[in-house]
Structure 1
Amino acid sequence: MQTAPNKDALKRRLDRYFWDNHSGEMVFLRRLINENFLEFNRIAVIGGLVRDFAYKGRSGFRSDLDLVIDAPKEDVSELAVLLDAKPNRFGGFGCKQGPWKIDFWALETTWARRYVDVERLEDIVSCTFFDWDAIAYDLRKKKVICSEGYLRKIREKELDINFLPNPSPLGNLVRAVRRLVLWDAHAGPILRNFINEHLDDGSLKFIQEKEIELYSHAISTQWRTAAEAKKALLSNVRKKK
Protein backbone atom coordinates (compact mmCIF):
# COMPACT_ATOMS: atom_id res chain seq x y z
CA MET A 1 0.00 0.00 0.00
CA GLN A 2 1.20 3.51 -0.84
CA THR A 3 1.71 6.44 1.51
CA ALA A 4 -1.67 7.94 2.42
CA PRO A 5 -2.43 10.76 -0.05
CA ASN A 6 -4.11 12.96 2.57
CA LYS A 7 -5.35 13.05 6.17
CA ASP A 8 -8.83 11.84 5.24
CA ALA A 9 -7.42 8.74 3.59
CA LEU A 10 -5.20 8.08 6.61
CA LYS A 11 -8.17 8.52 8.95
CA ARG A 12 -10.08 5.90 6.95
CA ARG A 13 -7.16 3.48 7.26
CA LEU A 14 -7.00 3.95 11.02
CA ASP A 15 -10.78 3.87 11.53
CA ARG A 16 -10.99 0.55 9.69
CA TYR A 17 -8.11 -0.94 11.62
CA PHE A 18 -9.30 0.07 15.08
CA TRP A 19 -13.06 -0.18 14.75
CA ASP A 20 -13.94 -2.46 11.80
CA ASN A 21 -11.24 -5.10 12.11
CA HIS A 22 -12.47 -8.47 13.40
CA SER A 23 -9.14 -10.24 13.76
CA GLY A 24 -8.46 -11.80 17.14
CA GLU A 25 -5.77 -9.29 18.05
CA MET A 26 -8.05 -6.33 17.32
CA VAL A 27 -11.09 -7.76 19.10
CA PHE A 28 -8.79 -8.18 22.11
CA LEU A 29 -7.38 -4.65 21.77
CA ARG A 30 -10.82 -3.01 21.41
CA ARG A 31 -12.03 -4.74 24.53
CA LEU A 32 -8.90 -3.63 26.38
CA ILE A 33 -9.30 -0.03 25.20
CA ASN A 34 -13.02 0.11 25.96
CA GLU A 35 -12.68 -1.41 29.42
CA ASN A 36 -9.59 0.47 30.59
CA PHE A 37 -8.62 3.48 28.49
CA LEU A 38 -11.82 5.05 27.21
CA GLU A 39 -12.78 5.99 30.76
CA PHE A 40 -10.52 8.99 30.06
CA ASN A 41 -11.97 11.86 28.04
CA ARG A 42 -8.99 12.23 25.72
CA ILE A 43 -6.54 9.53 24.72
CA ALA A 44 -4.46 9.14 21.58
CA VAL A 45 -2.22 6.66 19.85
CA ILE A 46 1.06 8.44 19.14
CA GLY A 47 4.00 7.73 16.89
CA GLY A 48 4.86 4.31 15.52
CA LEU A 49 1.51 2.74 14.67
CA VAL A 50 0.05 5.91 13.17
CA ARG A 51 3.29 6.67 11.32
CA ASP A 52 3.44 3.17 9.85
CA PHE A 53 -0.16 3.37 8.67
CA ALA A 54 0.59 6.74 7.06
CA TYR A 55 3.68 5.35 5.33
CA LYS A 56 2.52 1.97 4.07
CA GLY A 57 -0.77 1.03 5.70
CA ARG A 58 -1.27 -2.13 7.72
CA SER A 59 1.58 -3.95 5.94
CA GLY A 60 4.02 -1.37 7.27
CA PHE A 61 3.02 -1.67 10.93
CA ARG A 62 5.85 -3.15 12.98
CA SER A 63 5.62 -1.17 16.18
CA ASP A 64 4.09 -1.50 19.61
CA LEU A 65 1.21 0.63 20.88
CA ASP A 66 2.02 3.99 22.49
CA LEU A 67 -0.80 5.87 24.20
CA VAL A 68 -0.84 9.35 25.71
CA ILE A 69 -3.66 10.18 28.12
CA ASP A 70 -4.88 13.68 28.92
CA ALA A 71 -5.73 12.98 32.56
CA PRO A 72 -4.17 13.56 35.99
CA LYS A 73 -1.05 11.48 36.50
CA GLU A 74 -2.56 9.97 39.65
CA ASP A 75 -5.42 8.50 37.59
CA VAL A 76 -3.00 7.08 35.04
CA SER A 77 -0.93 5.58 37.87
CA GLU A 78 -4.06 3.86 39.17
CA LEU A 79 -4.62 2.34 35.74
CA ALA A 80 -1.01 1.15 35.73
CA VAL A 81 -1.63 -0.73 38.97
CA LEU A 82 -4.78 -2.28 37.53
CA LEU A 83 -2.92 -3.47 34.42
CA ASP A 84 0.19 -4.51 36.36
CA ALA A 85 2.18 -2.07 34.24
CA LYS A 86 5.73 -1.17 35.23
CA PRO A 87 7.32 2.30 35.08
CA ASN A 88 9.35 2.93 31.92
CA ARG A 89 12.31 5.24 31.33
CA PHE A 90 10.32 8.28 30.27
CA GLY A 91 7.80 8.76 33.05
CA GLY A 92 5.12 6.41 31.75
CA PHE A 93 4.25 2.75 32.12
CA GLY A 94 4.63 -0.38 30.03
CA CYS A 95 2.80 -3.70 30.05
CA LYS A 96 2.13 -6.77 27.95
CA GLN A 97 -1.54 -7.46 27.25
CA GLY A 98 -2.22 -10.49 25.09
CA PRO A 99 -0.28 -10.02 21.84
CA TRP A 100 0.23 -6.31 22.52
CA LYS A 101 3.11 -4.47 24.19
CA ILE A 102 1.62 -1.18 25.36
CA ASP A 103 3.33 1.94 26.72
CA PHE A 104 1.18 4.74 28.11
CA TRP A 105 1.67 7.92 30.04
CA ALA A 106 -0.16 11.00 31.32
CA LEU A 107 0.15 14.10 29.14
CA GLU A 108 1.29 16.13 32.12
CA THR A 109 4.32 13.86 32.65
CA THR A 110 5.62 14.28 29.09
CA TRP A 111 9.32 14.96 29.61
CA ALA A 112 9.40 17.71 26.96
CA ARG A 113 7.25 19.97 29.17
CA ARG A 114 10.47 21.30 30.67
CA TYR A 115 11.15 22.92 27.27
CA VAL A 116 7.74 23.69 25.71
CA ASP A 117 4.11 24.09 26.71
CA VAL A 118 2.24 20.77 26.58
CA GLU A 119 -1.28 21.58 27.71
CA ARG A 120 -3.54 19.56 25.40
CA LEU A 121 -3.39 16.39 23.37
CA GLU A 122 -2.64 18.28 20.14
CA ASP A 123 0.60 19.59 21.67
CA ILE A 124 2.12 16.12 21.93
CA VAL A 125 3.08 15.98 18.24
CA SER A 126 5.48 18.88 18.76
CA CYS A 127 7.54 16.78 21.21
CA THR A 128 8.72 13.82 19.13
CA PHE A 129 12.39 13.63 18.15
CA PHE A 130 11.76 12.56 14.53
CA ASP A 131 9.26 14.44 12.38
CA TRP A 132 7.86 11.18 10.97
CA ASP A 133 6.72 10.31 14.53
CA ALA A 134 4.92 13.64 14.97
CA ILE A 135 1.44 12.23 14.44
CA ALA A 136 -1.34 10.94 16.68
CA TYR A 137 -4.80 9.39 16.40
CA ASP A 138 -7.42 10.54 18.91
CA LEU A 139 -9.29 7.35 19.83
CA ARG A 140 -12.46 9.04 21.07
CA LYS A 141 -12.82 11.62 18.30
CA LYS A 142 -11.36 9.29 15.62
CA LYS A 143 -9.23 12.24 14.54
CA VAL A 144 -5.74 12.38 13.00
CA ILE A 145 -3.47 14.99 14.61
CA CYS A 146 -0.47 16.15 12.55
CA SER A 147 0.93 19.15 10.69
CA GLU A 148 -0.25 20.06 7.20
CA GLY A 149 3.09 19.06 5.67
CA TYR A 150 3.41 15.74 7.47
CA LEU A 151 2.44 13.38 4.64
CA ARG A 152 4.39 15.36 2.05
CA LYS A 153 7.64 14.77 3.95
CA ILE A 154 6.96 11.06 4.08
CA ARG A 155 6.18 10.96 0.37
CA GLU A 156 9.44 12.79 -0.32
CA LYS A 157 11.25 10.43 2.07
CA GLU A 158 12.87 13.26 3.99
CA LEU A 159 13.49 12.33 7.62
CA ASP A 160 14.35 15.20 9.94
CA ILE A 161 14.35 16.18 13.58
CA ASN A 162 11.12 17.62 14.92
CA PHE A 163 12.18 18.46 18.48
CA LEU A 164 15.88 18.55 19.27
CA PRO A 165 16.20 18.33 23.06
CA ASN A 166 16.05 14.64 23.95
CA PRO A 167 17.09 12.35 26.80
CA SER A 168 18.86 9.82 24.57
CA PRO A 169 21.03 11.22 21.74
CA LEU A 170 22.85 7.91 21.27
CA GLY A 171 19.58 5.98 21.18
CA ASN A 172 18.30 8.37 18.53
CA LEU A 173 21.50 7.90 16.54
CA VAL A 174 20.72 4.17 16.44
CA ARG A 175 17.19 4.90 15.24
CA ALA A 176 18.43 7.45 12.69
CA VAL A 177 20.83 4.92 11.16
CA ARG A 178 18.19 2.24 10.86
CA ARG A 179 15.45 4.51 9.56
CA LEU A 180 17.56 6.24 6.94
CA VAL A 181 18.80 2.92 5.55
CA LEU A 182 15.73 0.69 5.92
CA TRP A 183 13.30 3.37 4.73
CA ASP A 184 15.66 4.53 1.95
CA ALA A 185 15.19 8.06 3.28
CA HIS A 186 17.45 11.09 3.16
CA ALA A 187 18.31 13.22 6.17
CA GLY A 188 16.86 16.70 6.48
CA PRO A 189 19.12 19.62 7.47
CA ILE A 190 18.68 19.36 11.24
CA LEU A 191 19.23 15.60 11.27
CA ARG A 192 22.32 16.03 9.07
CA ASN A 193 23.78 18.44 11.62
CA PHE A 194 22.87 16.06 14.45
CA ILE A 195 24.65 13.15 12.75
CA ASN A 196 27.70 15.27 11.99
CA GLU A 197 27.87 16.44 15.59
CA HIS A 198 27.24 13.15 17.41
CA LEU A 199 28.54 10.39 15.15
CA ASP A 200 32.19 9.58 15.81
CA ASP A 201 34.11 6.33 16.09
CA GLY A 202 33.07 5.89 19.73
CA SER A 203 29.36 6.40 19.06
CA LEU A 204 29.57 4.15 15.98
CA LYS A 205 30.86 1.36 18.20
CA PHE A 206 27.93 1.97 20.57
CA ILE A 207 25.47 1.85 17.66
CA GLN A 208 26.96 -1.41 16.39
CA GLU A 209 26.79 -3.06 19.80
CA LYS A 210 23.26 -1.82 20.42
CA GLU A 211 22.04 -3.05 17.03
CA ILE A 212 23.56 -6.48 17.59
CA GLU A 213 21.86 -6.60 21.00
CA LEU A 214 18.41 -5.47 19.86
CA TYR A 215 17.94 -6.48 16.23
CA SER A 216 18.34 -9.59 14.10
CA HIS A 217 20.09 -7.56 11.40
CA ALA A 218 22.62 -4.83 12.20
CA ILE A 219 22.93 -2.03 9.67
CA SER A 220 25.94 -0.21 11.11
CA THR A 221 28.38 -3.15 11.11
CA GLN A 222 29.00 -2.55 7.39
CA TRP A 223 31.04 0.55 8.30
CA ARG A 224 34.50 0.47 9.87
CA THR A 225 34.72 4.15 10.76
CA ALA A 226 32.43 7.06 11.49
CA ALA A 227 33.67 8.73 8.31
CA GLU A 228 32.40 5.76 6.26
CA ALA A 229 29.08 5.85 8.09
CA LYS A 230 28.61 9.58 7.55
CA LYS A 231 29.41 9.27 3.87
CA ALA A 232 26.76 6.57 3.47
CA LEU A 233 24.11 8.24 5.62
CA LEU A 234 24.50 11.80 4.36
CA SER A 235 25.12 11.24 0.66
CA ASN A 236 21.52 10.22 -0.03
CA VAL A 237 20.19 13.72 -0.71
CA ARG A 238 16.98 14.13 -2.71
CA LYS A 239 17.69 15.61 -6.11
CA LYS A 240 15.88 18.81 -6.98
CA LYS A 241 13.19 18.36 -9.65
Structure 2
Amino acid sequence: MPAEQIKLPNGNTASLSVTPTLTVVKDQTVKTAPVPAKKAIVFFIGGAADQEKYYFQGAFHNIDDAQKLLDAKIAGNKKLKTKYTGLPKSYKDARGSGDIQTHFIDNIPSKSCPVYIVGHSLGGWNGAHLSQILSEAGYTIKFLVTLDPVGEGFFVWLGSDIYFSEPTPVAETWINIRANASKPDNSDGVADFGERWIIEAGPTVNKTIDRHHASADWMFIEPVQGTKSACDLIFDSINGIFGQ
Protein backbone atom coordinates (compact mmCIF):
# COMPACT_ATOMS: atom_id res chain seq x y z
CA MET A 1 0.00 0.00 0.00
CA PRO A 2 1.70 3.35 -1.11
CA ALA A 3 2.47 6.04 1.50
CA GLU A 4 0.26 9.16 1.50
CA GLN A 5 1.98 12.39 0.31
CA ILE A 6 1.24 15.69 2.16
CA LYS A 7 2.46 19.25 1.57
CA LEU A 8 4.15 21.03 4.46
CA PRO A 9 3.70 24.80 5.19
CA ASN A 10 7.24 25.51 3.91
CA GLY A 11 6.33 24.03 0.56
CA ASN A 12 8.11 20.73 1.00
CA THR A 13 6.36 17.35 0.75
CA ALA A 14 6.47 14.50 3.20
CA SER A 15 5.28 10.90 3.21
CA LEU A 16 3.10 9.52 5.96
CA SER A 17 3.90 5.94 6.96
CA VAL A 18 1.00 3.56 6.67
CA THR A 19 0.36 1.08 9.46
CA PRO A 20 -1.42 -2.01 8.15
CA THR A 21 -4.57 -3.10 9.93
CA LEU A 22 -4.27 -6.61 11.36
CA THR A 23 -7.25 -8.94 11.51
CA VAL A 24 -7.58 -10.57 14.91
CA VAL A 25 -7.88 -14.35 14.75
CA LYS A 26 -10.50 -15.28 17.30
CA ASP A 27 -9.72 -19.02 17.50
CA GLN A 28 -6.05 -19.31 18.40
CA THR A 29 -6.21 -22.85 19.78
CA VAL A 30 -3.72 -25.38 18.44
CA LYS A 31 -5.44 -27.96 16.30
CA THR A 32 -4.43 -31.59 16.86
CA ALA A 33 -5.61 -34.62 14.93
CA PRO A 34 -7.20 -37.32 17.13
CA VAL A 35 -5.06 -40.42 17.55
CA PRO A 36 -7.03 -43.70 17.66
CA ALA A 37 -6.58 -45.60 20.91
CA LYS A 38 -4.49 -48.75 20.62
CA LYS A 39 -6.38 -51.79 21.89
CA ALA A 40 -6.74 -55.52 21.32
CA ILE A 41 -9.49 -56.49 18.88
CA VAL A 42 -10.77 -60.07 19.10
CA PHE A 43 -13.19 -61.31 16.45
CA PHE A 44 -15.26 -64.39 17.31
CA ILE A 45 -16.59 -65.83 14.06
CA GLY A 46 -19.42 -68.33 14.26
CA GLY A 47 -20.37 -70.99 11.76
CA ALA A 48 -23.66 -71.99 10.17
CA ALA A 49 -26.73 -71.36 12.34
CA ASP A 50 -24.60 -69.51 14.89
CA GLN A 51 -25.29 -65.77 14.56
CA GLU A 52 -28.36 -66.22 12.36
CA LYS A 53 -30.62 -68.98 11.08
CA TYR A 54 -29.18 -71.42 8.59
CA TYR A 55 -32.14 -72.58 6.56
CA PHE A 56 -34.36 -73.99 9.35
CA GLN A 57 -31.82 -74.24 12.17
CA GLY A 58 -30.48 -71.84 14.80
CA ALA A 59 -29.36 -69.38 15.77
CA PHE A 60 -27.37 -71.26 18.44
CA HIS A 61 -24.66 -68.69 19.32
CA ASN A 62 -22.01 -71.33 20.05
CA ILE A 63 -19.18 -68.86 19.45
CA ASP A 64 -20.76 -66.44 21.94
CA ASP A 65 -20.17 -69.03 24.67
CA ALA A 66 -16.47 -69.02 23.80
CA GLN A 67 -16.36 -65.22 23.81
CA LYS A 68 -17.91 -65.06 27.29
CA LEU A 69 -14.96 -67.02 28.66
CA LEU A 70 -12.41 -64.47 27.44
CA ASP A 71 -14.68 -61.55 28.36
CA ALA A 72 -14.80 -62.83 31.95
CA LYS A 73 -11.01 -63.08 32.18
CA ILE A 74 -10.58 -59.56 30.80
CA ALA A 75 -13.24 -58.17 33.16
CA GLY A 76 -11.18 -59.37 36.12
CA ASN A 77 -8.24 -57.18 35.12
CA LYS A 78 -8.77 -53.42 35.57
CA LYS A 79 -5.92 -52.48 33.25
CA LEU A 80 -7.33 -54.46 30.34
CA LYS A 81 -11.00 -53.46 30.44
CA THR A 82 -10.49 -50.42 28.23
CA LYS A 83 -7.86 -52.11 26.07
CA TYR A 84 -10.03 -54.94 24.75
CA THR A 85 -12.93 -55.25 22.36
CA GLY A 86 -14.50 -58.63 21.62
CA LEU A 87 -16.94 -58.84 18.71
CA PRO A 88 -19.09 -61.80 17.59
CA LYS A 89 -19.45 -62.14 13.83
CA SER A 90 -21.02 -64.47 11.29
CA TYR A 91 -18.89 -66.49 8.90
CA LYS A 92 -20.70 -64.64 6.10
CA ASP A 93 -19.29 -61.32 7.31
CA ALA A 94 -15.76 -62.50 6.50
CA ARG A 95 -16.28 -62.87 2.76
CA GLY A 96 -16.45 -60.04 0.23
CA SER A 97 -14.52 -56.76 0.38
CA GLY A 98 -17.57 -54.71 1.39
CA ASP A 99 -18.52 -56.99 4.27
CA ILE A 100 -14.92 -57.28 5.46
CA GLN A 101 -14.60 -53.49 5.46
CA THR A 102 -17.87 -53.01 7.38
CA HIS A 103 -17.65 -55.85 9.87
CA PHE A 104 -13.92 -56.07 10.47
CA ILE A 105 -11.69 -53.24 9.22
CA ASP A 106 -14.07 -50.51 10.39
CA ASN A 107 -13.91 -52.03 13.89
CA ILE A 108 -10.11 -51.86 14.10
CA PRO A 109 -9.09 -48.35 15.29
CA SER A 110 -5.67 -48.45 13.64
CA LYS A 111 -3.09 -50.81 12.19
CA SER A 112 -1.16 -50.60 15.46
CA CYS A 113 -3.92 -52.63 17.16
CA PRO A 114 -3.19 -56.34 17.67
CA VAL A 115 -5.89 -58.49 16.07
CA TYR A 116 -7.06 -61.93 17.21
CA ILE A 117 -9.39 -64.23 15.26
CA VAL A 118 -11.31 -67.11 16.84
CA GLY A 119 -13.38 -69.03 14.29
CA HIS A 120 -15.65 -72.04 14.76
CA SER A 121 -16.87 -74.41 12.03
CA LEU A 122 -17.44 -72.40 8.82
CA GLY A 123 -16.19 -69.43 10.83
CA GLY A 124 -12.86 -71.20 11.20
CA TRP A 125 -12.60 -71.70 7.44
CA ASN A 126 -13.56 -68.11 6.55
CA GLY A 127 -11.65 -66.75 9.54
CA ALA A 128 -8.47 -68.40 8.27
CA HIS A 129 -8.98 -66.67 4.92
CA LEU A 130 -9.63 -63.41 6.78
CA SER A 131 -6.30 -63.69 8.59
CA GLN A 132 -4.50 -63.61 5.26
CA ILE A 133 -6.61 -60.74 3.90
CA LEU A 134 -6.08 -58.54 6.96
CA SER A 135 -2.37 -59.36 7.09
CA GLU A 136 -1.94 -58.35 3.46
CA ALA A 137 -3.76 -55.09 4.30
CA GLY A 138 -1.15 -54.30 6.95
CA TYR A 139 -2.78 -55.57 10.15
CA THR A 140 -0.99 -57.76 12.69
CA ILE A 141 -2.77 -61.05 13.43
CA LYS A 142 -1.40 -62.13 16.80
CA PHE A 143 -3.50 -65.30 17.11
CA LEU A 144 -5.71 -67.35 14.81
CA VAL A 145 -7.72 -70.02 16.61
CA THR A 146 -9.70 -72.44 14.44
CA LEU A 147 -12.18 -74.53 16.41
CA ASP A 148 -13.12 -77.66 14.43
CA PRO A 149 -13.10 -75.79 11.11
CA VAL A 150 -15.44 -76.95 8.35
CA GLY A 151 -15.55 -76.03 4.66
CA GLU A 152 -14.04 -78.77 2.49
CA GLY A 153 -17.37 -80.03 1.14
CA PHE A 154 -18.62 -79.05 -2.30
CA PHE A 155 -22.27 -78.99 -1.28
CA VAL A 156 -21.69 -76.81 1.78
CA TRP A 157 -19.81 -74.42 -0.50
CA LEU A 158 -22.81 -74.32 -2.84
CA GLY A 159 -25.23 -73.57 -0.01
CA SER A 160 -23.07 -71.28 2.13
CA ASP A 161 -21.19 -68.02 1.70
CA ILE A 162 -17.69 -69.47 2.11
CA TYR A 163 -14.48 -69.42 0.10
CA PHE A 164 -13.99 -72.26 -2.37
CA SER A 165 -10.23 -72.62 -2.02
CA GLU A 166 -8.44 -73.95 1.04
CA PRO A 167 -7.21 -71.12 3.29
CA THR A 168 -3.60 -70.05 3.61
CA PRO A 169 -3.64 -68.53 7.10
CA VAL A 170 -1.27 -65.80 8.25
CA ALA A 171 -0.83 -65.30 12.00
CA GLU A 172 1.97 -65.10 14.53
CA THR A 173 0.37 -68.06 16.34
CA TRP A 174 -2.17 -70.47 14.86
CA ILE A 175 -3.98 -72.92 17.13
CA ASN A 176 -6.18 -75.55 15.49
CA ILE A 177 -8.44 -77.83 17.50
CA ARG A 178 -10.32 -80.70 15.89
CA ALA A 179 -13.35 -82.19 17.62
CA ASN A 180 -13.54 -85.99 17.40
CA ALA A 181 -16.29 -87.12 19.78
CA SER A 182 -16.25 -90.75 20.89
CA LYS A 183 -20.06 -90.59 20.93
CA PRO A 184 -21.05 -88.27 18.05
CA ASP A 185 -24.19 -86.13 18.25
CA ASN A 186 -26.19 -84.21 15.63
CA SER A 187 -23.67 -81.38 15.48
CA ASP A 188 -20.94 -83.86 14.55
CA GLY A 189 -23.12 -85.18 11.75
CA VAL A 190 -23.55 -81.64 10.42
CA ALA A 191 -19.78 -81.11 10.53
CA ASP A 192 -19.22 -84.38 8.68
CA PHE A 193 -21.66 -83.29 5.98
CA GLY A 194 -19.88 -79.97 5.56
CA GLU A 195 -16.55 -81.84 5.67
CA ARG A 196 -14.13 -80.92 8.38
CA TRP A 197 -10.94 -79.19 7.31
CA ILE A 198 -8.35 -81.81 8.23
CA ILE A 199 -5.11 -79.91 8.76
CA GLU A 200 -1.92 -81.93 8.66
CA ALA A 201 0.66 -79.13 8.84
CA GLY A 202 0.85 -75.40 9.43
CA PRO A 203 -0.58 -74.63 12.89
CA THR A 204 1.65 -73.75 15.81
CA VAL A 205 -0.53 -76.11 17.83
CA ASN A 206 -2.67 -78.82 16.20
CA LYS A 207 -4.75 -80.90 18.60
CA THR A 208 -7.61 -83.40 18.39
CA ILE A 209 -9.91 -83.73 21.41
CA ASP A 210 -12.93 -85.79 22.47
CA ARG A 211 -15.59 -83.10 22.15
CA HIS A 212 -18.68 -82.48 20.06
CA HIS A 213 -18.50 -80.12 17.12
CA ALA A 214 -20.93 -77.66 18.73
CA SER A 215 -18.80 -77.29 21.87
CA ALA A 216 -16.88 -74.18 20.85
CA ASP A 217 -16.57 -73.10 24.48
CA TRP A 218 -15.04 -76.40 25.64
CA MET A 219 -12.58 -76.39 22.75
CA PHE A 220 -11.57 -72.83 23.60
CA ILE A 221 -10.58 -73.80 27.17
CA GLU A 222 -8.99 -77.14 26.31
CA PRO A 223 -5.30 -77.17 27.38
CA VAL A 224 -3.17 -76.96 24.25
CA GLN A 225 0.21 -75.82 25.59
CA GLY A 226 0.98 -77.32 28.97
CA THR A 227 -1.94 -76.28 31.15
CA LYS A 228 -2.75 -73.27 28.96
CA SER A 229 -5.80 -73.17 26.69
CA ALA A 230 -6.27 -71.02 23.59
CA CYS A 231 -8.33 -68.70 25.77
CA ASP A 232 -5.48 -68.46 28.29
CA LEU A 233 -2.87 -67.81 25.61
CA ILE A 234 -4.88 -65.01 24.02
CA PHE A 235 -5.39 -63.44 27.44
CA ASP A 236 -1.67 -63.72 28.19
CA SER A 237 -0.85 -62.08 24.87
CA ILE A 238 -3.20 -59.14 25.51
CA ASN A 239 -1.95 -58.80 29.08
CA GLY A 240 1.64 -58.83 27.87
CA ILE A 241 0.93 -55.88 25.57
CA PHE A 242 -1.38 -53.75 27.72
CA GLY A 243 -1.22 -55.03 31.29
CA GLN A 244 2.25 -53.84 32.26
Higher share in strand: 2
Tell which structure's C-alpha radius of gyration is larger: 2
Give the TM-score taking structure 2 as reference length. Answer: 0.26
Higher share in helix: 1
Give the TM-score taking structure 1 as reference length. Answer: 0.26
- Flag the structure with more relative contact order, 1 or 2, with Cα contacts below 8 A and sequence separation at least 6: 2
